[in-house]
Structures are given as structure tokens and as C-alpha cells.
């Protein structure tokens, strides 16, 4: 049974995007092909949002370190191979899936009802990650504000420092020659008080911490001794967290219509900053040494024989492209039906990877200068993650002329990189709500969006306590790891093996036009075999190599690890729960029920009737039951059925 009054469709079977000319008094959204859900105002809005989502903090603070660690320039070989074999196939699949059905990451599983729990898992993990991801943005905001000082507060050991703080290495003891020619081993205080000198190569050094490290731990975080020492809320971080959520809420109050405009700045300006940092870094003494450490003067090709290198390349590609988080499906669901998602997927993936490589030059040129000033090897100042973003790189910037300017630019770049990814993550959650309760979201999008941001802000307050960094690390260790890999494996296996890769290709051709058999040869090989196998290998490797979480030298208590396991179980338990619910609600014997749940739902297909053609002429209209205005628990359960 079809809907008597189908959603407005401004297209009539054509493969060209139809644009309705608007007069001055035309209402907003009148040119949308899909008037019920809305579409991107322009393709540029979509592409910049996708680039902003895919290009995040990991491109700046993880990829350069992995390249250096895994053979320099030689690492680009496995990185490119893994892009072609694992990253791009899954990226293209998710973009096509969302665009074809015009549905978010949960409702899109009408394609395979038994695996709808995979979509719920993606959204739950995304929601948990947004809690701590905005805390990282709050860190960047704090350092951004701290940069508005003539002398950067982490440039030296000020009043907050302890006796272990030092800008230079401190000799503890060494061999020295007395006046009578006797060589003795003594402490450095004796050497200096008697105007003696240490013999070359005999010095042992005291363990000291640079000012930037102590500032990060003692001032910015006010870090406690462990997860079980919660302490108090760090008020200035809480205010920065509140500000970051205000920015996110303001950018998303009209959904993609507002966020699609914000990304014109937030997605583009980080590239301006990267260029500025690279140009400035390249003019510094020691920059060449840093870049040579990054790409390798003579790349270590033998590293390619190590399995760990290929695992690192595959993992970096997988998480860098943000596949299996639900965001790609959500953002693509607002495309017009005949948008060329194939070229979009390739373009965004290439931009993401090029950005990673480019960022490495900007980072390592400055680190090379830092190593030059300290008269130390570059390897001793290189780090990744929090230690790179908030310790090593700020320390290097503090040594430059006009240091506050460079510090401001760097942390402003981190802020924008984080916000772009956060916009898409929150949009993933709101899109899920919209698919379930479209009438509610149409009338109450602003209250729902602000309510969601408020809830996530309060959940994030735990992460801005004195033990906050331990909670951030805990959630990242468990939720942002193999839980997403598990969802990705089920996603690609379900669509390629159960729904049918060839059937899915026919769906894609309804959007982008008929392609030759040779065109699809590579994609078939990846979707049917190569990508699922690679993801399974990475997943198994991650599980086998699993180690309890720790932050620096601080190990987590047993209950903390247990909480981590509870979080990931809560995320993935929806997969078997929903599958069981679907099977129980189906009709027939057990086998018949399983088979029926492995077939597309009766309302699976293009969102708009004019796009369905003969292949989906039998499709039950997906909007016939959308009369419920107020969401309830019973209504949520009903939506899953």
C-alpha cells in the first residue's frame, strides 16, 4: 500500500539535480528535493562537512608520529594500500547507503533488519565519544585563552613548578679530573662548586620534566594521582567545556542548514593555519632534521616486512576516515538522490590522506627546531596524542619569536578540527531521532538539539574533574577501539554477503547511472572478500593485543577496567538484543523467522516515490506510521520492530 499523498518530490525520474528557482519571498528549503527531511543547501556544504568530519585531531597528532615510527616515507606504501583495500571501499559503501535510502544510521538498517542493532551500536558509541571529544576541545580552548599573554605560561618553570622542573637536562653525577690528575666519579654539585668540568660521555642525568609537561599536569588538568582520586571539578575547564557545547549547539540549531554554513570557515581555515605553520617552521634552524626524521632521508623499506607496520597503517586509515561511526551515513542521507556519491567518496578520502601527510611536515619542522635548540635528537622530542598537542608542540612554539601568536594559531586550528568532527557526531544522533520522530523534530529541532547538548555537557563534567583525563583515556581506550571495528565487520559482511553485493551495486546505479562490469570489479573484490578479511584480521589483532588501560605510568584500578568493559558491552549488546527481538516478532518456525529477518523490510528503498522505479514499485511507503507526535518508551520499542 502506498501513501495517498507522498512526500513532495521535485524530481521526476531524471538523474539531474532539479533546482527550483526561488524568488525573494520563497520559503527556506523550497528548493529541497526531499521536503520532509531536507537536503544540503549546496554540494559544497556537504563536501566541506564530510572533510571536516573525516579530518580531525588524529590527522595532526597521530599520523605524523606513526609515519616516523614505521619507516618514514616507506610507511606511505602500506598507508596507501590500506586506503585502497579497507578505507575507501567502506567509505563509499556508507555514503551510498545513506544517500540511497535518505535515512540515518539506525533506520537505514531496513536493508537488513536482523542487524539493526549495528546502527544502534554506532550511535551509542558516537554519543559516548562526543562526551569526551568535547572535553578535548575544551582543553584547546583553555590553551587558546592562555595564549593571550606576552609570555606563555608554560615557557618556563614559574611558581607552580616543583624541583623536578627544568628547561634543560640536569646532570646528576659524572667523572671529573682533580688538580692532581685523579679521576673520580662524584655528584654534579661538587663539580660545579669547585669549577671542575665533567668528562665527555660520563654524565648521568636527573629525571626532569619540561615546563610544558608540568603546566599540563599541574595547572591545566590539576591532575590527581589516579582514577580513584576524583577530586573537584576544575572550574575553568568546566567553563571551557560549556563554551564548546554552546558553540556546537549554536552551529546545529537548524541542523544541516546552519552547520553547512559554519563549515565554510571551520573546515577551510585549519588548512590556512597549517600552511602558515609549515612556512614558519621551514625557516627555522633544525627544521630539515625534523622533516628528515619524519619522511626518512633514506626510508627504511625493511620496516614493510613487519606486520605491526601494516596493522598501524590499516588502523590509522580506518579511524582517520571515520567509517562505521554512523556519521557518513547520516551526512550522506541529506544528499539529493542522484548526487555522484562515488566521486565524493574518492575526493574526501584523498583530501583526508593528503592532509595527514601535509600536517606531518608542519609538525616535524617545528619539532626539529626544538631538538636543535635543546641539542638533542629529534626522536627524544617526538610524541603523539595529548603529549604532542599539549606538551611537546606548545613547548616548541614557546621558543619562537612572537610565541603567543604561533600558540594561538595552533590551538585555534585544533579547536576547529575538533569542532568539525563534533558537528557531524551530534548530527548523527539528531538524525537518528529525526528518522524515528520526524514530526517532533520538524517542530522542536532547536529544543531537542539544545537538550541533547545540555545532557552531554553534564555527562562531560566528570571528565573535567581532577581525574578527568583518566576518564577521557578510559572511554577512548574501550569505546573508540574494537567496538567500532566489530560494527564495521558486521556492516560490510551483512550488506555484501546477506543483502547481496550485486543487489547493492544495482541500488547505487539507480543513483549514479549504469556502469560497466569492469568498473565494479574492484569494488566487488573489496566488498566480498578483501575488506571483510582485513577488518577481521585487525579486529582479532586488537583483541589479542589488548592491554589494560593506563595513562602514562599510572595504571588503572581493577574497577576502572571493569567500568570500561561495561561501557563497551553496553554499546555492542544492542546487536544481539535487536536481532532476538526481530526474530521473536517474526512469523513461522525458527529458520523461517531468521530468513525473514535477513531480507529487506517491506519499506526499504528510496525515500521518495519518484525515485523507486520498477525495482521498488512494490515498496510499502515508509511514512505511513509517522503520526506519533510525542516520543515514548513504547514508541521507541515499536520503532525497532
What is the β-pairing status of strands 170-177 and 204-206?
A: antiparallel
Give pLDDT tens digits for 428-439: 999 999 999 888
Mean pLDDT of 136-157: 96
Give pLDDT tens digits for 499-548: 999 999 999 999 999 998 899 999 999 999 999 999 998 888 888 888 88
Burial of 53 (0-12, 13-18, 19+ CB in 10 A): buried
In the predicted structure, residue 37 carries a pLDDT above the cut 80 = yes
- Contacts of 1-5 with C-beta under 8 Å, sequence gap 24+, read 1/620, 1/621, 1/624, 2/609, 2/620, 2/621, 3/609, 3/621, 3/623, 3/624
In the predicted structure, residue 20 carries a pLDDT above the cut 50 = no
Mean pLDDT of 336-356: 95
For 510, the grid coordinates are: 539507480
For 39, the grid coordinates are: 537536503
pLDDT at residue 120, rounded to an integer: 97
For 291, the grid coordinates are: 622533516
366-402 CB burial, b ≥16 within 10 A, e <16: bbbbbbbbbeeebeebbebebbbbbbbbbbbbbbbee
Q: Give the integer Cα–Cα distance in Å for 455 and 435.
A: 20
For residue 373, give every residue at least 6 positions away whose Cβ sits within 8 Å of its Cβ, in sequence order, or none. Answer: 286, 399
Give pLDDT tens digits for 389-414: 898 889 989 989 999 999 999 999 99
When comparing pLDDT for 540 and 4, which is higher?
540
Give pLDDT tens digits for 556-594: 999 999 999 999 999 999 999 999 999 999 999 999 999
In the predicted structure, residue 262 carries a pLDDT above the cut 50 = yes
In the predicted structure, residue 282 carries a pLDDT above the cut 80 = yes
H helix intervals, 55-87 = 57-61, 63-69, 76-82
For 578, the grid coordinates are: 535487536
Give pLDDT tens digits for 221-252: 999 999 999 999 999 999 999 999 999 999 99
* Mean confidence (pLDDT) of the chain: 86
Strand partners for 186:
174
Neighbours of 621 (CB within 10 A): 18
Contact status, residue 403 vs residue 148, Cβ threshold 8 Å: no
Q: Give the integer Cα–Cα distance in Å for 482 and 477.
A: 9
pLDDT at residue 367, rounded to an integer: 84
H helix intervals, 70-165 = 76-82, 88-101, 116-146
Q: Give the number of residues written for the chain.
A: 641
Strand partners for 174:
186
pLDDT at residue 354, rounded to an integer: 93
Q: What is the CA radius of gyration of the chain?
A: 27
pLDDT band at 203 (very low <50, low <70, confident <90, very high): low
Q: Give the integer Cα–Cα distance in Å for 155 and 152.
A: 5
In the predicted structure, residue 265 carries a pLDDT above the cut 60 = yes
Instruction: Provide the 8-state DSSP code for 340.
Output: -
In the predicted structure, residue 482 carries a pLDDT above the cut 50 = yes
Considering the entire predicted model, what is its pTM? Answer: 0.88
Instruction: Provide the 8-state DSSP code for 170.
Output: E
For 568, the 3-state DSSP assignment is helix
Q: Which of 69-78, 188-197, 386-395, 481-490 is the least confident region?
A: 188-197
Mean pLDDT of 435-447: 87
Q: Give the integer Cα–Cα distance in Å for 457 and 134.
A: 9
Give pLDDT tens digits for 288-343: 888 887 876 545 677 778 777 888 888 888 888 999 999 999 999 999 999 999 99
pLDDT at residue 188, rounded to an integer: 66
Instruction: Provide the 8-state DSSP code for 526.
Output: I
Q: Give the integer Cα–Cα distance in Å for 315 and 40.
A: 31
Instruction: Provide the 8-state DSSP code for 5.
Output: S
pLDDT band at 456 (very low <50, low <70, confident <90, very high): very high
In the predicted structure, residue 2 carries a pLDDT above the cut 50 = no
Amino acid at each position: 500500500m502506498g501513501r495517498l499523498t507522498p512526500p513532495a518530490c521535485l524530481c521526476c525520474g531524471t538523474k539531474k539535480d532539479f533546482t527550483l528557482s526561488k524568488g525573494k519571498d520563497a520559503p527556506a528549503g523550497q528548493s529541497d528535493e526531499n521536503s520532509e527531511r531536507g537536503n544540503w543547501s549546496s554540494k559544497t556544504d556537504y563536501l566541506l562537512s564530510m572533510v571536516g568530519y573525516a579530518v580531525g585531531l588524529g590527522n595532526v597528532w597521530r599520523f605524523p608520529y606513526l609515519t616516523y615510527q614505521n619507516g618514514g616515507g616507506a610507511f606511505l606504501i602500506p598507508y596507501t594500500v590500506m586506503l585502497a583495500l579497507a578505507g575507501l571501499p567502506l567509505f563509499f559503501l556508507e555514503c551510498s547507503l545513506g544517500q540511497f535510502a535518505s535515512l540515518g544510521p539506525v533506520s537505514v538498517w531496513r536493508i537488513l533488519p536482523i542487524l539493526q542493532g549495528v546502527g544502534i551500536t554506532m550511535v551509542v558509541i558516537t554519543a559516548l565519544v562526543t562526551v569526551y571529544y568535547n572535553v578535548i576541545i575544551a582543553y584547546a580552548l583553555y590553551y587558546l585563552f592562555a595564549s593571550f599573554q606576552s609570555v606563555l605560561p608554560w615557557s618556563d618553570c614559574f611558581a607552580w613548578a616543583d624541583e623536578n622542573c627544568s628547561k634543560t637536562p640536569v646532570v646528576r653525577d659524572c667523572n671529573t679530573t682533580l688538580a692532581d690528575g685523579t679521576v673520580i666519579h662524584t655528584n654534579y654539585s661538587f663539580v660545579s662548586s669547585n669549577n671542575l668540568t665533567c668528562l665527555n660521555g660520563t654524565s648521568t642525568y636527573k629525571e626532569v620534566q619540561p615546563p610544558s609537561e608540568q603546566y599540563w599536569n599541574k595547572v591545566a588538568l590539576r591532575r590527581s594521582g589516579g582514577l580513584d582520586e576524583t577530586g573537584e571539578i576544575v572550574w575553568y575547564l568546566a567553563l571551557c567545556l560549556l563554551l564548546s557545547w554552546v558553540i556546537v549547539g549554536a552551529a546545529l540549531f537548524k541542523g544541516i542548514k546552519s552547520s553547512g554554513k559554519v563549515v565554510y570557515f571551520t573546515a577551510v581555515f585549519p588548512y590556512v593555519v597549517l600552511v602558515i605553520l609549515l612556512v614558519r617552521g621551514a625557516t627555522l634552524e633544525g627544521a630539515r632534521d625534523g622533516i628528515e626524521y619524519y619522511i626518512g632521508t633514506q626510508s627504511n623499506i625493511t620496516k614493510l616486512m613487519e606486520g605491526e607496520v601494516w596493522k598501524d597503517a590499516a588502523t590509522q586509515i580506518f579511524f582517520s576516515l571515520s567509517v562505521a561511526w554512523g556519521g557518513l551515513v547520516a551526512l550522506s542521507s541529506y544528499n539529493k538522490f542522484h548526487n555522484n556519491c562515488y566521486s565524493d567518496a574518492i575526493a574526501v578520502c584523498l583530501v583526508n590522506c593528503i592532509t595527514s601527510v601535509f600536517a606531518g611536515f608542519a609538525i616535524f619542522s617545528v619539532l626539529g627546531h626544538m631538538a636543535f635548540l635543546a641539542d638533542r635528537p629529534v626522536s627524544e622530542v617526538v610524541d603523539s596524542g595529548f603529549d604532542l598537542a599539549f606538551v611537546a608542540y606548545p613547548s616548541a612554539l614557546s621558543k619562537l619569536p612572537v610565541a603567543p601568536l604561533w600558540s594561538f594559531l595552533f590551538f585555534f586550528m585544533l579547536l576547529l578540527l575538533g569542532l568539525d568532527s563534533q558537528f557531524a557526531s551530534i548530527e548523527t544522533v539528531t538524525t537518528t531521532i529525526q528518522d524515528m520522530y520526524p514530526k517532533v523534530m520538524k517542530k522542536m529541532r532547536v529544543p531537542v538539539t539544545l537538550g541533547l547538548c545540555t545532557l552531554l555537557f553534564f555527562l562531560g563534567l566528570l571528565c573535567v574533574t581532577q581525574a578527568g583525563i583518566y576518564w577521557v583515556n578510559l572511554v577512548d581506550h574501550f569505546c573508540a577501539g574494537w567496538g567500532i571495528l566489530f560494527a564495521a565487520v558486521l556492516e560490510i559482511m551483512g550488506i555484501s554477503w546477506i543483502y547481496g553485493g550485486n543487489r547493492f551495486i544495482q541500488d547505487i546505479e539507480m543513483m549514479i547511472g549504469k556502469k560497466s562490469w569492469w568498473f565494479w570489479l574492484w569494488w566487488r573484490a573489496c566488498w566480498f572478500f578483501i575488506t571483510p578479511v582485513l577488518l577481521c584480521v585487525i579486529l582479532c589483532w586488537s583483541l589479542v593485543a589488548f592491554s589494560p588501560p593506563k595513562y602514562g605510568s599510572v595504571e588503572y584500578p581493577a574497577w576502572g577496567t571493569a567500568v570500561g568493559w561495561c561501557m563497551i558491552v553496553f554499546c555492542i549488546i544492542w546487536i544481539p538484543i535487536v536481532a532476538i527481538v526481530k526474530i521473536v516478532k517474526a512469523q513461522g518456525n525458527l529458520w523461517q523467522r531468521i530468513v525473514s529477518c535477513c531480507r529487506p523490510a517491506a519499506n526499504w528503498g528510496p525515500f521518495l516515490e519518484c525515485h523507486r522505479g520498477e525495482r521498488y514499485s512494490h515498496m510499502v511507503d515508509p511514512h505511513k506510521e509517522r503520526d506519533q507526535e510525542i516520543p515514548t518508551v513504547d514508541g521507541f520499542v515499536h520503532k525497532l520492530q
